[in-house]
Structures are given as structure tokens and as C-alpha cells.
Amino acid sequence: MSARGALSLLCLLLSLPALGGQTSFTNSGGQLNVGWQDREGKAQQLSYRLEAGKLPPLIAYRPARMQEDVLQSLLQQAPLAFPEVQFSLVRPAMSLSIKSRNADKAREASQWVKPEQAKLEAAWLTLHYFQPFTAPDGAPAIKQDHVRIALESRDELAPLMEQLKQEGATETEARQKTVAHMLDFIQAIPYQLLDSQSGRSGKGFLSPRQVLEQNRGDCDSKVTLMAALLAQGYPDLKQAMVFVPGHALLGVALPAKPGEATLSRAGETYLLMEPTGPAQLPMGQLAPTSKTLVDSGQLSVQPVQDEGK
């Protein structure tokens, strides 16, 4: 696990002209009031209160913290498994010292440590909503478990999703209008590069609830918010998170018009979109940099679905 670094999503700022944007925002004791202009210049307004959330506070991924927590857990477990062996933590090397008068037991304990440490590291990542990930360049990395966070956030977003839903002559048309309306709403949320010093130090991600309540977000935070809303409103609608170097996009299984950006994976075709903002790009239109990266295949794709499905 030590060879894996944190996946860096610096989030390409979409500096194309923004036709609309957010016009007002207040958070009065959890009652959220938002005004914005859609890409057609029409004024939009929402007022809602989120349901109670189940997601625990999220932390930044720091290898040193994981190593400390895991080694401390090993120190607690080791005496139970090997009472004849003395274990101690060596600083600043952050390694375990193993001593025993019984050479066989010391050797057995040494062989036990590595697989046990790997199990504890995997459990630590799961506990804190991280996951091993293969970055677009093929390098092993650690990133937020965006899909899990989206799915575990969907219930609390129900009041907002109900207000975002649009009507249409057919179910497909209603979904297309809803996704377009939702995309406008999320793109209008003020963009903030959370990896920068101006954001929360060391933390490059906000949960869907935090994006809405703090009224700010970067690319993967906004993509996760949109995925959570769609999973809440249309649980049968297939979608996928698309990670390119330094950025994140969302793909939704909706019909595409000629010339619109799509991505095909595992027999499914996704219409691509840019929730990041501030440019209010319509469904199927990508920023030039995003399009270049997608077209060149520099991407990793994660379907938004429950584990095991």
C-alpha cells in the first residue's frame, strides 16, 4: 500500500463563458435557498431542507496517518497472537521491532505482520471512505470512494431531487429535461479548488451535503453530488464517473444527439457532461481539454452502482 499515492484531482477550471450562474444563496438553519440563471437566461429558484444524513465526517487521505493508525492496531493485536514476543514501534522509521527469546516464535511473528498489516490497511481505507484505484496514467493510487459516497448520500437529497424533477411527454424526455436542469443547478454552485491553500487545508473533496450547505465544490465533489441526485431520483438510470488526469466528468445513459460527446463501456453508452462549472456547458458538450483527454483514452471509468451489482 505504501507505493500508492493520493489521486490528485486538481480539477480543470472551465473558463469558457458562463451564460448564467448563481444569483443568490442563503443557509438559514439548514433551510437552503438558491437562485440562479440557467443557460437560457431564465431565473430559477429553489428552497429546500435536506433529510438527516448518515455519512460520517470525511477525512483527508494522509499516508502517515494511516500508517500510524495501522501500526497502533498491530501493537494491540500482536501480544494476543504472540504472547511470547515483544513488539515495539520504532520512530521515526515507523516500523515494528520484534524481539523474543524464542527464535521460532519471532520468525512466525515476523511472517504474520505483513499480511495482517495489509488487512488492516484495507480496513482503514474502507472505514474512511477511500479505495485503491488505478489512475488514468496506469499508476496505482488512493482516492475517495466517490461511488460509495454518492450512493450513501442519496436518501438525504430526496427533497432537492423532487424539486429538480421536470416533466416531459415521455419518461425519456422527462429524464433528459431533469438532467439538463440539474446540470445547470450544479454548474452554478461556486467553484472552489479544494486542493488549494484557499480551500480546507489538505482536503480535496466535499460530500454532496457539504457542497450544498457550504455552497462550493470542485470537480469530483460536484460529480459525486450529481451522481447521488440521479441515483436517488432514477435508481435504474445507469451512470458512470469518468476520471481523466486532473479532472472528473459524469456519464449518463441517455440518448445522444449527433456530435454530442459519449463514451461506450461494457456494452453501455454514456452521454458525457461537465458538472464542474462555472461554464454552463450543456449535456454532451465537453471543455476542449476534457474532450482531448477522453478522445485519447486517458481515463478511468467507475459505474455508479451498488457493490456486487
Taking only the tens place, the pLDDT of each residue in 109-135 is: 999 999 999 999 999 999 999 999 998
**Are 78 and 108 contained in the same domain?**
yes
Domain assignment present for 75: yes
68-82 core/surface letters (b: 16 or more CB in 10 A; e: else)? eebbebbeeebeeeb
**Are 169 and 273 contained in the same domain?**
yes
**Are 283 and 172 contained in the same domain?**
yes
**Are 110 and 214 contained in the same domain?**
no
Domain assignment present for 233: yes
- CATH number where 215 lies: 3.10.620
Segment among 16-20, 29-33, 102-106, 184-188 with least mean pLDDT: 16-20
Domain assignment present for 48: no
Domain count, the chain: 2
**Are 173 and 259 contained in the same domain?**
yes
Domain assignment present for 150: yes
Domain of residue 275, residue span: 146-303
Mark residue 250 as left, alpha or beta (left: phi above 0; alpha: psi -120 to 50; beta: remaining): beta
Look at residues 276, 126, 257 and name the one whose alpha carbon lies nearest to residue 187: 276
pLDDT value at position 19?
A: 57
**At which of 78, 97, 128 does a domain end?**
128
Question: Does the pLDDT of residue 197 top 60, yes or no?
Answer: no
Domain assignment present for 3: no
Taking only the tens place, the pLDDT of each residue in 81-111 is: 999 999 999 999 899 999 999 999 999 999 9
Domain assignment present for 41: no
**Are 233 and 287 contained in the same domain?**
yes
Residue 216 and residue 208 in contact, taking contact as beta carbons nearer than 8 Å: no
Mark residue 246 as left, alpha or beta (left: phi above 0; alpha: psi -120 to 50; beta: remaining): left
**Are 165 and 289 contained in the same domain?**
yes
pTM (two decimals): 0.91
Domain assignment present for 92: yes
Query: First-to-last CA distance in the chain?
Result: 26
